[in-house]
Amino acid sequence: MSRRLSNKRILITGAAQGIGLAIANAFVREDASIFLIDRDETLLYQEAAKLKNEGYRVGAQAADITDAKAIAAAVSQAQSEIGRINALVNNAGVNVFAEPLETSDEEWNRCFDINLKGAWNCSKAVLPGLIEQGGGVILNITSTHSFTIIPHTFPYPLAKHALLGMTKSLGLEYAPKNIRVNALAPGYVATQKVIDYWAGFPDPEAAKAETMKLHPGGRIAAPEEIAMAAVFMISDECPFMNATCLTVDGGLSVQQHPA
């Protein structure tokens, strides 16, 4: 432990698995106090208990980020368990991929409610406290979909483009209040969501191989690699980084065509 996040009291959404759980593990190893939010109550409390049993300062509350009242209650609960939140990681998200003209209203609403409105609900819930404390950090986990388009993935990139726009807007709006708002954009990451994506193809192994070929290094990221980038962006090591996005995709979004 290098204590890079000492005195940080961080709320993390979508924290029961995947990138969110990796971020939680990385943060406590850097001496942060964390409060975890996820819709999966069973998995959330299971993972929170593991961290508590290891001696880390951890609180948790099952909540749906699309429910503003539930999020406000969770932030209040976080304050009672770990102290006033001074950093937020908006990690929770969902893949909604469809052809544009085949996208139902239900799919559209689900995509934007979780990927955009949910992040705003959480930001809105913590911002007054950050302002009152004289500063803080909000980190939005976006995606390379925030600035590139992959056909047949509508409307997910629209929501992620909007989340990046919200990042920039809030970053400028609250910079005078000493609040940094940034984004972290992973490419493909070895999470259950990606495994499920491959499983949707007739030949999952061939789909996996095609994904690997897209990357200059021939592999995709481990969740822990994204988590360590999040440690940096939440820490005090980048105090002048604001309203911007750090891309962690192994070069995926840079090359025009795969090798």
Cβ neighbour number for residue 53 with a 10 Å cutoff: 9
Task: Write out the catalytic residue numbers.
Answer: 156
Residue 19 pLDDT: 98
In a domain, 1, yes or no: no
Contact between 177 and 228 under an 8 Å Cβ cutoff? The reply is no
Residue 1 pLDDT: 65
CA distance to 14, 56, 61, 194, 225, per residue, from 40 (Å): 9, 21, 10, 18, 24
Cβ neighbour number for residue 134 with a 10 Å cutoff: 10
Q: Which residue range forms the structural domain that includes residue 98?
A: 9-248
Q: Say how far apart CA 250 and CA 253 lie, in whole Å.
A: 8
Sign of torsion over alpha carbons 88, 26, 187, 184: positive
Cis peptide before 239 (omega within 30 of 0): no
| CATH code for the domain in which residue 204 is found | 3.40.50.720
| Strand, coil or helix: 258 | coil
Residue 128 pLDDT: 98
In a domain, 257, yes or no: no
Residue 259 pLDDT: 67
In a domain, 3, yes or no: no
In a domain, 253, yes or no: no
Phi, psi of 172 (to 5 degrees): -75, -40
Q: Say how far apart CA 93 and CA 111 lie, in whole Å.
A: 8
Structure pTM?
0.96
pLDDT averaged over 10-residue windows placed end to end, the chain, 259 residues: 92 98 98 98 98 98 98 98 98 96 98 98 98 98 95 96 98 98 97 90 95 94 98 98 98 85
Contact between 201 and 192 under an 8 Å Cβ cutoff? The reply is no
Residue 193 pLDDT: 85
In a domain, 259, yes or no: no
In a domain, 198, yes or no: yes
Contact between 74 and 61 under an 8 Å Cβ cutoff? The reply is yes
Give Cβ neighbours of residue 8 (< 8 Å, ≥ 6 apart).
27, 31, 32, 33, 86, 87, 234, 235
Q: Which of 89, 58, 95, 106 is nearest to 198 (CA)?
A: 95
Domain count, the chain: 1
Residue 258 pLDDT: 73
CA distance to 83, 188, 246, per residue, from 150 (Å): 42, 13, 20
**222 alpha carbon, distance to own chain's centre:** 15
Give Cβ neighbours of residue 88 (< 8 Å, ≥ 6 apart).
10, 11, 12, 122, 123, 126, 136, 137, 138, 139
Q: Which of 36, 121, 21 is nearest to 70 (CA)?
A: 121
Residue 74 pLDDT: 98
Q: Say how far apart CA 193 and CA 90 lie, in whole Å.
A: 17
In a domain, 4, yes or no: no
